[in-house]
Amino acid sequence: MLDSVFFQISALLGIVAVVSFLIHLLRQPLLIAYIITGILSGPIVFNLIDSSEDFYRAFSEFGVVLLLFVLGLSLNFTYLKKIGKVAIRTALAQVFFTSSIGLLILIFFKFSFVSALFLAIAITFSSTIIIIKLLTDKRELESVYGQYTVGLMLVQDVIAIVLLLFIPLLSGQESFVVTLGIWALKGIILFSVIYSLSKFILPWILGKVAKSAEFLFIFTIAWCFCIAGLAHWGGFSLEVGALMAGLSLGSTPYHFEISSRIKPLRDFFIMLFFIILGSQMNLGDLRQVIIPGLVLSIFVLIGNPLILYLLYRLQHFTRRNSFLASVTAAQVSEFGFVLLFVGRQLGAVTDRQIATYTVVALVTIFISSYVITYNKKLFQFVRPVLNLLGKDYAYNEEEEVEYFDAWVFGYHRMGWKIVETFKKRKLKTAVVDFNPEYIKKLQQRGISSYFGDVADVEFLDELNFEKAKIIVLTVPDPDDQITAISHIKKKNKKAYIVGTLNHARNLEDLYRAGADYVMMPHLLGGEWMSHKLLNEKWTKTTFHKLKRQQHDEMILRYDIAR
C-alpha cells in the first residue's frame, strides 16, 4: 500500500480514469466504474488504500453531504401537486411489498433480522440520479411515464429522509418516547431557524453574492456545510442538514446555477465515496454474498418492476405507461448506500450487508441502464403477451413541455430592446441573465427568466431549446458564445442563432460554431449614423429630433428595467 495520500489519490484517479473509459464505451453510469475501482484498489487486488483511515472517512462524509445538498436543490414538489396521490400511494405500497419480500429472501439466506431489515429497505429505493440522467438524455423526462417515475422517486426520497431522521432515535439510551420528544423539539427549533434564515436573510444575501460566480460558489458551499454542521450539533445527521440546506436554496431563482457549479465537486467526492465502499469488499465477503446478491438482483430487476406494474395498472394507467415506468425503476439507489452507511455507524449493519448491496448495485445499475435506454423496444417485444389479456381501456394524456419561440441571453444593454421586439411579434420569449437584479425585474414583469451562466453546459442542459425559432446572445465574451452556440446546435439545428462581438477577431470562430449572424455594435451604430447623415438634412431640427428620440428611448429602457 502506498504511504503518501497524494500518491494514493493519484493512483485511484489513474485507475478510475481507465475503468471509466471502458464503462463509458459500454454506455453505463460511471457509478459502476467507481465501485469497480474500489474493488481493484482494495485488499482483493492491488491493496492501494486503507479505507479505515480518517481522511477517507471524511471524504465519504463530504460526498454524502454534497449528494444530498444537490438532491435538495433539485427536489421539485410541483410534480407532487399534479400527481401527488398516485405517487404517494404507489411509493408507499412499493416500499412495503418490496421490503417485505426482500426481508424474506434475506432471512432465507440466514441474515440476522435487523441487518436483513436494513438491507431489505435499502433495495426498495431506485436511483433518482441515474433515472433523471437517462430520461433527460432520451428527452422523456416530461412524458407521462417520466413524470410519474420522477414523482415516485421524490416520494421514495422523502421516505428515505424520514428513515435517516428516525433510525438514529432507536440507538438512544433513554426511553423512546423521551428521545422522540427531544428529537421533535430539536427538529422544530432547527427547522424554524433554517426557515427564518431562508425566508428573511438568505434572499438578500443571495442578491448580493450572485453577482459574482466565484462568490456564489463559495457562499453555497459554506451554507451547505454550516447548515449540515448545525443539524449535527442539534442531534441530527449531517445528511439531513445537507438536504435541508439544499431545500432552502431550491426555491430561489439561482438553484440551476448553484446546482451546475456544485455538481463537479459533488461528483469528485461521490467518486471517492463509492471507491471506498468498493474497497471494503474482500474475498471472504464475496464468497458469502455473491449468491444472495444475485438473487436480490433478480428480484430488483424483475420482481420490483412487476410490483410497480400492477400498482400502476390498479390506478388505471395504460399498459405502455405502466410498463415503461416500472422498468425504469429497476435498480437500487445511492440512498441505499447512505442508509447502510448510517446503519453501520449504529452497529446494526456489517460489511457483509454492504458487500451484498454492492453486488446488487453493480448488477442492477448495469442491466437497468440498457433497459431504460431501450424500454420502448422492450415493450414492443412483450406487448403481444400483454395483449392476450384483452383490450387496454386505460388512457393517460401526455402533458406538454413548456417551450419558447425565442431566447435572449443577456438582458442588459441590447437584450431588453430585443425582448420588446419579440413581444411585439407575439413570440413566446425567455431570458437568461447572470444578474440577479434583472431576473427579479423580469419576474415582476411576468417574463420567463433563468439565472445562469451562458457558458455552463450543465445549466444549458436544463433549458428547452428544441422548438426555438431564434436565439440571440448579447453577452460580450466570444468563448462563452462559442460554447453556448455549439451546445444549442446539438439540441436544435434549425433555430437561427445571432451572436454579438465588440471586435472582429473572433468573427469567423462564431460563424464556424454555428452562428447565423453576428452583431457588431460599433459597425451597426456607424451604419445607422451614416444612414442618418446621408438621408437627413443637417439642421438643428434634425439633430433635436434624434436627441429627442434617444431621450424617449432611454426613458423607456429605464421604465422597463426599473
pLDDT of residue 120: 92
- The residue ranges of every structural domain in the chain are 5-382, 406-519
The span from the CA of 397 to the CA of 401, in Å, is 13
Provide the strand spans (E) within 438-509.
448-451, 470-473, 496-500
What 3-state DSSP class applies to 433? strand
Query: What's the burial of 33, exposed, middle or buried (CB within 10 Å: 0-12/13-18/19+)?
Result: buried
Q: With DSSP H G I counted as helix, E B as strand and the rest as coil, what are the percentages for the chain, rounded to 5? A: 70, 5, 25
- pLDDT at 505 (0 to 100): 83
Say if CB 73 and CB 259 are below 8 A apart: yes
* DSSP tag of 47: -
Count CB-CB contacts under 10 A for residue 80: 18
Helix (H) or strand (E) holding 409: strand 406-409
Return d(Cα 438, Cα 54) in angstroms, integer. 46
Nearest CA to 131 out of 156, 109, 167 is that of 156
CA of residue 443 relative to chain centroid, distance: 24
- CATH 3.20.20.70 for domain 5-382, yes or no, is no
**Three cell numbers, residue 175:** 426511553
User: Residue 430 belongs to what H/E stretch?
Assistant: strand 429-433
Is the torsion defined by CA of 313, 316, 320, 321 positive or negative? negative
CB neighbour class for 146 (10 Å; exposed up to 12, middle 13-18, buried from 19)? buried
Q: d(Cα 149, Cα 35) in Å, to the nearest integer?
A: 26
Q: What are phi and psi of 527, to 5 degrees?
A: -65, -40
The helix (H) or strand (E) run that includes residue 431 is strand 429-433
Q: E strands within 142-231? A: none
Single-letter amino acid code for the residue at 329: A
324, three cell numbers: 415503461
CA distances from 287 to 47, 106, 293, 456 (A): 19, 16, 10, 46
Q: What pLDDT sits at residue 170?
A: 61
Cell of 73: 436543490
What's the grid cell of residue 251? 426555491
Say if residues 463 and 450 touch (Cβ distance below 8 Å). Answer: yes
What is the tens place of the pLDDT at every residue in 341-393?
Answer: 888 877 888 878 888 888 898 889 888 888 888 888 898 888 888 877 766 66
Fold of 406-519: Rossmann fold (3.40.50)
For Cα atoms 272, 346, 66, give the angle at the middle one, nearest 5 degrees. Answer: 35
| Helix 238-250 vs helix 176-196: crossing angle, to nearest 10 | 30
DSSP string computed for 503-558? SSTTHHHHHHHT-SEEE-HHHHHHHHHHHHHHHS--SHHHHHHHHHHHHHHHHHHH
In order of 203, 240, 335, 374, 504, the CA distances from 338 in angstroms are 31, 11, 5, 29, 53
Residues in the chain with pLDDT values less than 70: 1-3, 51-52, 74-83, 133, 136-137, 139, 141-142, 165, 168-180, 280-286, 390-401, 458, 554-562
CA atoms of 112 and 417, how far apart (whole Å): 69
Kindly report whether the global pTM for this prediction surpasses the value 0.85.
no
Q: In terms of C-beta density within 10 A (0-12 exposed, 13-18 middle, 19 or more buried), how is residue 402 classed? A: exposed
Q: What is the pLDDT of residue 185?
A: 81
**CA 503 to each of CA 315, 410, 508, 522, 529: distance values in angstroms, whole numbers, following the listed order:** 61, 18, 11, 8, 19
- Torsion angle defined by CA atoms of residues 552, 554, 556 and 562, in that order, rounded to the nearest 10 degrees: -150
Single out the residue of 69, 57, 64, 67 nearest to residue 227, CA to CA: 69
- β-partners of residue 432 are 409, 450
* The one-letter amino acid at 515: A
8 Å CB contact between 91 and 155: yes
pLDDT on residue 326:
92
